[in-house]
Amino acid sequence: MADEIEMIPGTPQFNRIVLKLNDRITPQTLTMLSYNHRQLKLIQDGIYIMPAYINLSAGFNLFFIVAQLIQDDWIMAFAKANIKNEYEITNLSNPIPTGKGLNELDRYDSDKANQILKYFNTLVETKHGNWRLIQ
52 closest CA partner among 127, 105, 110, 92: 105
81-131: pLDDT as tens digits: 988 887 788 889 999 999 999 999 999 999 999 999 999 999 999 999 999
How far is Cα 16 from Cα 125, in angstroms, rounded to an integer?
20
93-104: pLDDT as tens digits: 999 999 999 999
Q: What is the pTM of this model?
A: 0.89
How far is Cα 74 from Cα 88, in angstroms, rounded to an integer?
26
24-42: pLDDT as tens digits: 999 999 999 999 999 999 9
> What residues contact 88, with CB distance under 8 A and at least 6 apart?
none
